[in-house]
Amino acid sequence: MKKLCFASILFIVQFELLLSFASVANALIPLKPVVLGLVKPKTIVSKTTTIWLPRLSTSYYLKTCPVVEQVIQEKMAYWFHQDNSLAASIIRLHFHDCAVRGCDASILLNHKGSERRAHASRTLRGFQVIDDIKAELERRCPRKVSCADILTAAARDATKLLNGSFWEVPFGRKDGRISLSKEADMVPQGRENITTLIHSFDSLGLSILDLVTLSGSHTIGRSTCYSIQHRLANYQGTGKPDPTLDAKYLKNLTRSCKWSSNYVNLDVTTPKTFDIEYYSNLGKKKGLLSTDQALYSDPRTSPFISVMATQPDLFFNQFAVSMVNLGNIVVPGPSSETEVRLNCNYAN
């Protein structure tokens, strides 16, 4: 009964969303990436090049590397116990990967001019975790498991270690050979307006519901003060702080943010617990990033926020769904531009 109720609320909200979405859809640029369903096949052969499109499947490594999930899970548990802040970092790293050229581990390539070297990537962490998992998998099943699949499963396991949602990860991604720093700067940074955010998610094939749900990952993790400095004083040239910031919270933030390189928690009330406090904080003007707070006030996103803020089961279920949507973003391209990388830092 409870489940049914959640489902129907979600349906109504989704329906309203569709209506409002339909009106802007025509204005949006055509989609380039595609979000794959579980059973979408194949390789399309054109006259000149072979276009690669993966067949993602939860049993992809059943024959070639049956230990893959066990290895990733054990390594993630090990690193989490060393430093539990790595869980949020891995989830963020996965997002930054999938938001550029789909989930192809382009964010891991470590060369001059790569995404990883971009200004927007400077606070990304957790690369050593992926390197460690990759090294172990190369010992156990050489040349089989892509870095993109490792990062995707690691983000799932990070969520699980936080006692968050669980979902089955479809596998079969390939690693890209192209990584450009200017593309990394297109990933949302926390200062965009909602229209820009919606367009940016839509161009990845993700919905407004995915946007609101994936923002819920801010229930854990931290941000640098650099991302919120503009809210603390002289907001938009008014000479005053951002009026959508609670006064006490503003005081705390001002105290914590002596330097732009200082860190503050994204979820002010329960920063280490995977829960719906992030959403209820928005209703109390305690969203950290201006993008967080704007989700609460914008009519296109606010209906979802109020549902999430009161229905933990719904958030947990939808988080799993939206993370699969995120992980299934692929950009079809020539086969010559994909491979299973031997070292996640370098193309073969």
Ligand X SMILES: *[C@@H]1O[C@H](CO)[C@@H](O)[C@H](O)[C@H]1NC(C)=O
Per DSSP, the three-state class of 292 is helix
Give min distance, CB of 73 to ligand X, in A: 15
Nearer CB in complex with ligand X: 50/193: 193
Nearer CB in complex with ligand X: 65/99: 99
Give min distance, CB of 248 to ligand X, in A: 4
327 among annotated binding-site residues: no
Query: Which residues sit at the interface with ligand X, rule CB under 6 A?
Result: 162-163, 193, 195-196, 246, 248-249, 252, 268, 273
- Return the residue matching tokens 């193309």: 347
Give min distance, CB of 164 to ligand X, in A: 9
End-to-end CA distance of the chain: 53
Rounded CA separation 269/265 (Å): 9
Rounded CA separation 153/151 (Å): 6
**DSSP secondary structure letters along 170-226:** PB---EES---HHHHTTS--S---HHHHHHHHHTTT--HHHHHHHHGGGGS-EEEGG
Rounded CA separation 277/267 (Å): 7
Nearer CB in complex with ligand X: 60/319: 319
157 among annotated binding-site residues: no
- The single residue of 94, 96, 119, 230 carrying the catalytic annotation is 96
Give min distance, CB of 111 to ligand X, in A: 30
Rounded CA separation 44/158 (Å): 35
Question: Are the beta carbons of 325 and 206 closer than 8 angstroms?
Answer: yes
Residues 6+ away with beta carbon under 8 Å from 220: 87, 88, 162, 266, 267, 271, 272, 273, 274
185 among annotated binding-site residues: no
Rounded CA separation 184/191 (Å): 15
Question: Are the beta carbons of 272 and 266 closer than 8 angstroms?
Answer: no
170 among annotated binding-site residues: no
Per DSSP, the three-state class of 87 is helix
Find the helix or strand (DSSP H, E) in which 141 lies: none
Give min distance, CB of 67 to ligand X, in A: 25
φ and ψ at residue 329, rounded to 5 degrees: -75, 120
Give min distance, CB of 68 to ligand X, in A: 24
- Return the residue matching tokens 């957790």: 126
Nearer CB in complex with ligand X: 141/232: 232
100 among annotated binding-site residues: yes
338 among annotated binding-site residues: no
Question: Are the beta carbons of 32 and 164 closer than 8 angstroms?
Answer: no
Nearer CB in complex with ligand X: 122/248: 248
149 among annotated binding-site residues: no
270 among annotated binding-site residues: yes
Specify whether 96 is catalytic.
yes
Nearer CB in complex with ligand X: 103/162: 162
Please report, in range form, the residues annotated as the binding site for Ca(2+): 97, 100, 102, 104, 106, 115, 219, 267, 270, 275
Please report, in range form, the residues annotated as the binding site for heme b: 218
* Catalytic residue positions, numbered: 96
Please report, in range form, the residues annotated as the binding site: 97, 100, 102, 104, 106, 115, 188, 218-219, 267, 270, 275
